[in-house]
Amino acid sequence: MSKEEKIYVGSGKKVKDYDLVNISICLDDKIKPYIYEYKGKKYINLTVAAKKEVDQYGKTHSVTINTFKPDEKKVESKPSQETNNTDDSDDLPF
């Protein structure tokens, strides 16, 4: 299995000693094919990752498009467990 090339669409910077990162995303043509609609609203899946080193602009994080799609063949539904309980109990496990 080959790794897909990452599609960088932005970067971010950790805010002082807080546990938050401000990011900026470039909404250009390369991001549009990954926008999808769900229940009448538009979404895009992104991944925010810490950079190994702070870049020349002080950016500490990168933003890429998350292109993961589950393999339909590997997704299996679990068989339901049917109980043949003839007892009139409250179906408590104990």
> Which tens digits make up the pLDDT trace of 6-17?
889 999 999 988
Residue 37 structural domain: 8-65
Give the separation between CA 83 and CA 93, rounded to whole angstroms.
Answer: 12
* Whether pTM exceeds 0.85: no
Answer yes or no: is 83 within a domain. Answer: no
CA distance 61 to 63: 7
- Residue 23, domain member (yes or no): yes
What is the C-alpha separation between 46 and 9, in angstroms, rounded? 9
Gap between the Cα atoms of 50 and 21, Å rounded: 10
Q: Is residue 80 part of a domain?
A: no
Determine, yes or no, domain membership for 89: no
List, for residues 33-76, the tens digit of each pLDDT value: 999 999 999 999 999 999 999 999 999 999 999 987 777 666 55
